[in-house]
Chains A and B, each alone.
Chain A
């Protein structure tokens, strides 16, 4: 009986806290995306101009973890397969956050563009199977300062 109560309590806590955290995070992401809109990103390997501009390697990273609710729902959803929407939003948030941190670093160096942007996603192993599920998302690239 207690097991069931704890399980339901964890789901409720996970759902409520996770939802609040997610909507707050999205609000903050949208705000900062407007703020850093001046920094342009390029995935191309070469800079758009071949002028000699001062450059600096910049990166941004974030480690995110899922919540209890997402874990239970995804466990159920993976029986039938298909989209796991709860994880899509989690990784979307993480990637946008990593990009924003990279942009913030570039802006601090006075750069207007970042070229050759690369992403890396790394799933952090837990000590035991199913112990801590966390993902690291990293973005890096070369920031070019306008002369």
Chain B
């Protein structure tokens, strides 16, 4: 499965467009991590726990998108975009979407 944020794949032709596929996940912060982050908030800098949390969540959203693409019989997802939105206090939704296609 080719996942790319280009709209075309140089050297390959799109045989079939299968429409939009997407994957999303909602994650909440861990209370312990939140307390640590609160302490880190005094001195500033990177909050590694959050960086990892969001990366992991985004990976899961991408995997769900790829699953959906496989289910419709695609072999590539083009023009992949990411979106993030905050839902309630302490929770975020991560979204990945793209166009499922069959490449020759």
Contacts and interface: CB of A to CB of B under 8 A. Distances in A.
B84 A136 contact: yes
Interface residues of B, number: 40
B82 A134 contact: no
B50 to A, nearest CB: 4
B10 A138 contact: no
Given A21-B44, A63-B50, A127 B34 contact: yes
A67 B43 contact: yes
B8 A134 contact: no
Contact of B89 (A65, A128, A141): A128
B9 to A, nearest CB: 7
B47 A125 contact: no
Interface residues of A, number: 51
Interface in B7-23: 7-12
Nearest to A90: B44
A140 B41 CA distance: 27
B47 A65 contact: yes
B82 A45 contact: no
B10 A65 contact: no
B89 A125 contact: yes
B5 A65 contact: no
Interface stretch (A30-38, A74-82, A114-122): A114-122
Given A125-B86, A127-B34, A52 B11 contact: yes
Nearest to A14: B42
Interface of B: 2-12, 29, 34, 37-38, 40-48, 50-51, 54-55, 58, 80-84, 86, 88-92
Given A14-B43, A116-B5, A125-B91, 20 more contacts: A13-B43, A21-B44, A52-B11, A52-B12, A61-B58, A63-B46, A64-B47, A65-B41, A65-B44, A68-B41, A90-B44, A97-B46, A116-B6, A125-B92, A127-B90, A132-B37, A134-B41, A138-B84, A141-B5, A142-B4
